[in-house]
Amino acid sequence: MAQEEEASTSVASEVAESTSEFLGVDLNAIGEKITETVSLYGLSILAAIVIFVVGRFLANLVTKGLRGVMEKRNIDASLVGFATGLTHALLMTFVIIAALSRIGIQTTSLVAIIGAAGLAVGLALQGSLSNFAAGVLIIIFKPYRVGDYVVASGAEGVVEDIGIFTTTVVTLDHRTQIIPNSVATSGVIENYTKKGIRRLDIVPGVSYGDDIRKVKKVLEEIIAAEPRVLAEPKPFVGVAEMADSSVNFAFRPWVKVEDYWDLFFHFNEQIKIRFDEEDITIPFPQRDVHLFQEK
DSSP 257: G
User: Which CATH number belongs to the domain containing residue 237 in this structure?
Assistant: 3.30.70.100
- Report cis status (omega within 30 of 0) of the bond before 283: no
Phi-psi region of 142 (alpha: psi -120 to 50; beta: other; left: phi over 0): left
Q: Which amino acid is at 27?
A: L
Asked if residue 130 is part of any domain, the answer here is no
Asked if residue 110 is part of any domain, the answer here is yes
Q: Based on the fold, state whether residues 207 and 169 are members of the same structural domain.
A: no
Q: Based on the fold, state whether residues 89 and 105 are members of the same structural domain.
A: yes
State yes or no: pLDDT of 248 exceeds 90: yes
Q: What is the pLDDT of residue 15?
A: 47
- For residue 207, the enclosing domain spans 197-277
- To the question of pTM greater than 0.75 for the whole model, the response is no
Q: What is the pLDDT of residue 110?
A: 61
Asked if residue 285 is part of any domain, the answer here is no
Contacts of 241-244 with C-beta under 8 Å, sequence gap 24+, read 241/203, 243/205, 244/285, 244/287
Contacts of 36-40 with C-beta under 8 Å, sequence gap 24+, read none
pLDDT for 43-68, tens place per residue?
A: 777 888 888 898 899 988 988 888 88
DSSP 283: P
List Cβ neighbours of 86 (8 Å cut-off, separation of 6 or more). Answer: 164
pLDDT for 171-199, tens place per residue?
A: 989 999 999 998 888 889 999 998 999 99
Report, as an integer, the average pLDDT of 129-136.
82
Asked if residue 230 is part of any domain, the answer here is yes
Q: Is the dihedral of CA 212, 216, 219, 221 positive or negative?
A: negative
State yes or no: pLDDT of 230 exceeds 80: yes
